[in-house]
Amino acid sequence: MKRIKSIVMEVLIVIAVFFMVCIAGLVDIKAGESPRDTRLIKQTNITLEGDKKNIEDMSRKIQNQSSELEKLKKEMNKLTLNKNTEEWNNAVISYNNKLMQYNKDLSQYNSKLDDYNKIYSSLKAQDGEKENAIDWVRKVLGI
């Protein structure tokens, strides 16, 4: 009976050691993924900061263009009242050119903003999926 107990005990110890080695290996694998993810997240954050500055600059530019367009529109209305057709035609041409540039810049701004939002949401999703090693081991063990 003692011999069976000792054999069972040795088998349990071997299984426990094997289980601990497996868990340690899984933790090493998980920890090995972390620096790569951290580097990727840092690079993405740097890219997002640059994009954010570009978007803010574009926003200021669009606001300035919008105020210029309003001024030109008021000028055109004044010229309409004065009935000076040549100046009015020049003002309309200038307004149309600035309006085309404004629309072009606005579409670029919207596309940059959409790209920024996509990258930002994917980064937030990665942060949500990222777990620390202890929580991951607990999940593997079912604790």
Q: What is the pTM of this model?
A: 0.62
Please, which residues have CB within 8 angstroms of residue 22's CB and are 6 or more apart in sequence?
A: none
Count of structural domains, the chain: 1
Cα distance between residue 95 and residue 36, in whole Å? 52
Cβ atoms 73, 95 nearer than 8 A: yes
What digits encode the pLDDT tens for the residues 3-44? 888 888 999 999 988 888 887 777 766 666 655 667 777 888
Residue 23 to residue 73: CA distance in whole angstroms = 72
Give the range of the structural domain holding residue 69, as residue numbers without chain letter. 2-141
Count helices and strands (H / E) in the chain.
3, 0
Cα 47 to its chain centre, rounded Å, is: 9
Give the model confidence (pLDDT) of 80-120 as tens digits: 888 778 888 888 899 999 999 999 999 999 999 999 999 88
